[in-house]
Structure 1
Amino acid sequence: MRKLSGIFLVGLCLGAIGAVAVTASHGTSAPEPITVAEAATMKTDSPSTAPSTTPTPTPPPETAPASDPGKAPEKKPAVDAAGLDRLVRGGNVSAVVFDRQGGAATVSVHADRGYTSASIVKLLIALQVLERNGPAADVQRMLARSDDELASRFWMSYGGTSIVTRWAAKLGLTGTRAPTDPGRWGDTRITASDVVRIYQYLLDHKSSTIMKALRDATERGSDGFRQYFGIPDAAAGRPWAVKQGWSCCGPTRMLHTSGVLGEDSRYIVVVLTEHPAKVDYATASKRVTDIVSTLLG
C-alpha cells in the first residue's frame, strides 16, 4: 500500500504540473491562431499548411500610391471618348474644357477633328469688323442673335475667305480652313482646339464688345432656332457666355456649343457635334446638353 500510495502521489503531482502548463499555454498564445489565419487569407486563396505556433509577420496589402503622402492617388478619368461617342449615336463629337485658372485642359476628346463651323465662324468675322472700326452695335447683334444676314453683309464687305485665313494665321489655328465656296461662310472648317484658342484670344485681349454680346445671347436666334442648348441649359445657375452654331440641309446636321462658364470666365467649354440627318434638332439639342452636363460632372 505504501508503494502504491507513493506512485499515486507522484502521479498526482505530475498531473497537476501538466494541468498548470496546459492552462498557461492557452492563456498566452490564444491570439496567435487568429493572426495566422488572417495572414493566410490575405496571402492566398489556395490551401495552406497548418500554421506554426510562431507566426511570421505578414506584410499589409500593397497600397503604396494611396499611402504615400507625397503622391496623390491616381483617379480614373471621369470623361472618355467612348462615353461621349455613345451620347451621339451614329454621329461625331469633339469636346474640350480648358481651366483658365489652372492653365490646362481638364477634358480633351477628339480635339483636332474637323467640322463645318456653322455660326461659330462669326467670332472671326466679329474680330475682323471690330479691328477695322466697323459698327460695334451690329457686331453685337450678329453674335447675340446669331444673325445670318448681318454675317453675310460683313463677310462680303470685310474680306470674305481672307477673314478666315488671316485670323487663322494670327491666332495659330492649325485646323481652321476657309470654305471652298467663297460665298458660304458657314462652311468654314474648325476644330475644338482651335475654338478654344479663339476664346483665349478674346479673353486675353479683353474683347468686351464681343464678350458682352455672348453674355447677352438671346434664347432664340434671328431665324427662330432655340440657341440655349448645351452650355446655357447645363450651366445650373453658373454665369455663361456663348456662341452657338447649327446647320441643316445636308447628309448630316451640325450642332455646336461654345463659350465660357463660371466666375471670371474660368472655364472655356467647346463641344462640336455632327448628327445624322434623320436626328431632329430637338433630339440633337438634348444630346449636346447631355454632353456638357457630363463634362461638368
Structure 2
Amino acid sequence: MPIRPSRTARTTAGALVTAAVALSAAALPHPAAAAAPPAPSGKARAHATAAVLDLDGTGRTAVLRGADRAYDTASIVKVDILAALLLRAQDAGRPLSEAERDLAEPMIRRSDNAAANALWRRIGRASGLAAANERLGLTSTTGGPGGKWGLTRTTASDQIRLLRAVFDSNGTVRRGSGGLDAGSRAYVRTLMSRVESGQSWGVSAAGSPGARPALKNGWLQRSTTGRWDVNSVGEIAVRGHRYLVAVLSDGNASMGDGVSLVERTARAAV
C-alpha cells in the first residue's frame, strides 16, 4: 500500500522512487486521413509513472504516490529484446554473430523497427522474452501478442529491474542460468549511450549538464484512441551519483505532449 515518506526519507540516497503523475492533456486535432487514428478526446487524461534508483546509494525503497501500474512499452522493449538475445548467446557459449550485431545496433541506436521485428522472432517472441525476464528478475512484464512487441506491458519498477540487470553487477553468471555477464552488460550500455541525437530526450532531462546519459526511448500512437504512449528509460548522472530512471506514460494528446510530460516527471522524481 503506498505511503507518503517524510522529508528525510524523500532525500535518502538510494531510494527507489515510484511516482505517479496524472495531468490533463489538451486535445489536438489529428490530420484527416482515411487510415488515421481518431482525433484525441479532450476528456482523456495523460498519466505518467516514474521509478528512480540511486546506484551509488543504499537501495532503500519509498513509494511517493500512485500505483505502479502497467503501460505499453513501445520501443523501450528493445532493451529487453537485446538482453534476451544476449542470454541466448551466453547459453550457447558464443558472442553475438555479425548478423545479430547488425540488427542489435540499429535497433537500439536509432530504434529500427525492422531490426526489432527480426530479433523478436529470433528470441522466440513473448515466450522467449518471458524466459529471459524470469532470469533477470522482472515480475510484471508481459510480451506483446504475436509480432506486436511494442504492445508488451510493463511497469516502471520492472524497468528498473531490467536497468539494474544492465547497469549493476550481477555477480557470477553460469551458462543457462543467472543474468547478463560483464561483456553483455557493457555491450548494452555502449549502445544505449550512443543513441542518435534526435532520440536523446526523456530521462536525460533530469541529468546534470554535460553528463552523457545512456537511454532508450519509446513512442506509440494507439489506433483506437489517437493518443500516444511515450516512455524513456536509462542511466543518468546527477551531482556525482548514478541514477537509473524509468518514466512511462500514456494518454498523451501528441508525441510532443508526451515528451514534455516524461521530462517533467523525470526531473520531479530525481
Q: Distance in 1 between matches of 2:79 and 2:18?
A: 28
CA contact (8 A) 2:222 2:229 kept: no
Q: Give the percent of matched residue pairs that are identical in Structure 1 and Structure 2.
A: 27
| Structure of greater Rg | 1
Name whichever structure is richer in strand by fraction. Answer: 2
Question: Alpha carbons of 1:178 and 1:219: their partners in 2 closer, same or farther (altered >3 Å)?
Answer: same
Which of the numbers 136, 147, 156 marks the counterpart of 1:183? 147
Deviations 1:99-135 (A, max 9, x none): 1111325764546310111111111211222232342
Give yes or no for the alignment of 1:281 onto 2:237: no
Name whichever structure is richer in helix by fraction. Answer: 1
1:219 match:
197
Q: Distance in 1 between matches of 2:133 and 2:102?
A: 25
Return the structure number with greater relative CO, CA threshold 8 A, min gap 6.
2
Shift of 1:136: 2.7
Unaligned regions of 5+ residues in structure 2, if any?
Answer: 1-5, 12-16, 27-44, 90-95, 170-180
Alignment of 1:216-295 (within 5 A): 216-220=194-198, 227-235=199-207, 236-250=209-223, 251=225, 252-262=227-237, 266-276=242-252, 279-295=253-269
Which of the numbers 88, 101, 110 marks the counterpart of 1:145? 110
SS in 1 for 2:22: helix
* TM-score normalised by length of structure 1: 0.64
Q: Distance in 2 between matches of 1:88 and 1:110?
A: 18
Give yes or no for the alignment of 1:209 onto 2:192: no
Unaligned regions of 5+ residues in structure 1, if any?
Answer: 1-72, 221-226
Question: Alpha carbons of 1:106 and 1:294: their partners in 2 closer, same or farther (altered >3 Å)?
Answer: farther
Task: Read off the aligned partner of 1:259 and give its amino acid letter.
Answer: G
CA contact (8 A) 2:141 2:155 kept: yes
CA contact (8 A) 1:95 1:107 kept: no
2:162 match:
198
Shift of 1:165: 1.2
Question: Alpha carbons of 1:159 and 1:137: their partners in 2 closer, same or farther (altered >3 Å)?
Answer: same
Shift of 1:163: 2.3
Q: Distance in 1 between matches of 2:212 and 2:9?
A: 28
Alignment of 1:111-150 (within 5 A): 112-131=68-87, 132=89, 133-134=96-97, 135-150=100-115
Structure 1 runs of 4+ off > 4 angstroms?
73-82, 105-111
Task: Read off the aligned partner of 1:118 and give its amino acid letter.
Answer: A
Which of the numbers 117, 123, 133 marks the counterpart of 1:168? 133
Q: Distance in 2 between matches of 1:130 and 1:231?
A: 25
Deviations 1:130-156 (A, max 9, x none): 232342343122111111110001111
Which of the numbers 83, 92, 97 marks the counterpart of 2:47? 92
* TM-score normalised by length of structure 2: 0.70
SS in 1 for 2:141: coil
Question: Alpha carbons of 1:76 and 1:260: their partners in 2 closer, same or farther (altered >3 Å)?
Answer: closer
